[in-house]
Amino acid sequence: MFERYTERARRAVFFARYEACQTGSPTIESEHLLLGVLREDPALFFEADASFRSQDLKNKVSAHLKLKPAISTSVDIPLSPDCKRAIAQAAQESQRLGSRTVGCEHILMALLRQDESNAARAMKQTGITLSTVRRVSAKPDAAAGSATGDAMIAAVGRVFKLIELLWNDQNLEAFANLFGSSAEFVDIAGLLWTGPAQIAGATHAFDRLGNELITIGLNSHSILLGGDEYCVSRVRWEVHLRESGRRVGSVMMIAALENAGDTWNIAAAQNTRVED
């Protein structure tokens, strides 16, 4: 059933199973699958709606879940009929877009096709629609001759835009998951953080005031060195106070990224304050 699924899509299904166990559900429901996709690839939601707030969606989905005592993750939990339908429709969406694999974006489209489901209603209430997800998922063919360089620039730019959106959403776990498993990150104070688990704790990555008090805006980015499997980029961020929006400074990031197949991961990055 999952032979054509990307690694990220398989992890989303794994997380759906985990969510079902946590709520004591005897079956994996569409709501659990949605939470699995949100946990594995929150970028999809922000690309569909830049004003998206992950906690709003979690709250709306959780409101429809019947909470029972958690069950062991070693228990085999089957897919519900609605969830099986979504899995089948995800393959259809993949074929419709001419993709050889089934990704998280196709699962998301399939869930949105189930108009009357709680999962679809929750997404629509938070600004996520089938048409917008289909639009942002219609990517150009990166293998098409000279378009390769443009596709790489767009893919890398997507990573930096996601840094902005996830940081401003205060979703540091998802922010950290943009980094590779052994990535190194040096924050604005010169502290070294290694791997996503540590990087998720880098609350002062861009300013000494911390994530709760500041937001960032992507000013510009450029490729300093690049190839099919890696690139080095320079990124400039504008830092603002979260409450008033007043600009308080600029930060320069030098980042090395590696091609992980269906996405680009940050392998190393360093932030440095820029004197205006």
Which one, of 172, 163, 271, 152, lies nearest residue 217 by Cα? 163
pLDDT of residue 144: 34
* Predicted confidence band of residue 64 (pLDDT cuts 50, 70, 90): confident
Query: What are residue 239's DSSP bridge partners?
Result: 216, 249
If you write DSSP's letter for every residue of 208-264 in order, what string do you get? TT-TTTEEEEEEEEEEEEE-SSEEEEEEEEEEEETTT--EEEEEEEEEEEEE-SSSE
Q: Flag the least confident range among 90-94, 153-157, 168-172, 186-190.
A: 153-157
Every domain range in the chain assigned CATH 1.10.1780.10? 7-137
Output the CA torsion sign for 96, 155, 183, 33: negative
Which comes out higher in pLDDT, residue 147 or 51?
51
pLDDT of residue 141: 39
The alpha carbon of residue 166 and the mean position of all alpha carbons in its chain are separated, in whole angstroms, by: 8
Fold held by 7-137: Double Clp-N motif (1.10.1780)
Instruction: Report how far residue 194's alpha carbon sits from residue 196's, in angstroms, rounded to the nearest whole number.
Output: 7
pLDDT of residue 140: 47
Every domain range in the chain assigned CATH 3.10.450.50? 147-274
For residues 20 and 32, the answer to whether their CB atoms sit within 8 Å is yes
pLDDT of residue 109: 95
For residues 99 and 138, the answer to whether their CB atoms sit within 8 Å is no
Mean pLDDT, all residues of the chain: 89
Tell me what percent of the residues of the chain surpass a pLDDT of 70.
95
The CATH code of domain 147-274 reads: 3.10.450.50
pLDDT tens for each residue of 102-136:
999 999 999 999 988 999 999 999 999 999 998 88
Q: In the predicted model, what is the mean pLDDT of residues 84-112?
A: 92
How crowded is the C-beta side of 255, counted as CA atoms within 13 Å?
29
pLDDT tens for each residue of 133-173:
988 887 543 333 333 467 778 888 889 988 998 999 888 99
Q: In the predicted model, what is the mean pLDDT of residues 14-31?
A: 94
pLDDT of residue 139: 56
